[in-house]
Amino acid sequence: MDIASVVLRKPEAEDGFFVNKLISEIPELDSNSCYCNLLQCSHFSDTSVLAEIEGEVVGFISGYRKPNDSDVLFVWQVAVAQKARGMGLASKMLQQLLQRKVPSPVSHIETTITDDNEASWALFNRLARDANATLVRSLIFDRCDHFNEQHDSEFLARIGPFLP
């Protein structure tokens, strides 16, 4: 698979079903309803990005501006199809989101990651490194207090500042 042939663009409602399929095929990700992905691809299109190769959806990042802190882009899920991994696609998608500057430049990116998700920590550490920014890690959703022991704890990764 050639990274040069990947098209990155804002998602549209018609992509929602295929995004849902991509996510359902990635065991590390919590599954979503198709309806949730339809909303991400329509209401949150400006802060989400889709990657396709010859019309096939191979990557997706859902995100939104935090309602009470709109300088922060919250990254909800990052998904790259198995066959498209390891060639910088997730990093490229994050860069595209940062470059959009709509409605205003992003000062920080936040996301949550489980302790054992090495690929995800590597992805966001690389983002911080490339931007000469800092990654601060803290517990946000606890296995016991928030997930009733049904899900591993989620750690907040806050990265920034990104300079305009």
Residues binding ligand COA (CB under 6 A): 26, 28-29, 77-80, 85-91, 117-120, 122-123, 126
CB 38 to ligand COA: min, Å = 19
Q: Give residue for tokens 């990651």.
A: 113
Nearer Cβ to ligand COA (48/77): 77
Nearest to 140 by CA among 102, 114, 160: 114
Nearer Cβ to ligand COA (7/104): 7
b/e 50-67 (16+ beta carbons within 10 angstroms → b): bbbbeeebbbbbbbbbee
CB 22 to ligand COA: min, Å = 9
Count the helices and strands in the chain (H runs, E runs): 4, 7
Residues 27, 29, 31: CA angle, nearest 5 degrees: 95
CB 23 to ligand COA: min, Å = 9
Residues 64, 16, 141: CA angle, nearest 5 degrees: 40
Nearer Cβ to ligand COA (49/103): 49
Nearer Cβ to ligand COA (25/104): 25
CB 50 to ligand COA: min, Å = 14
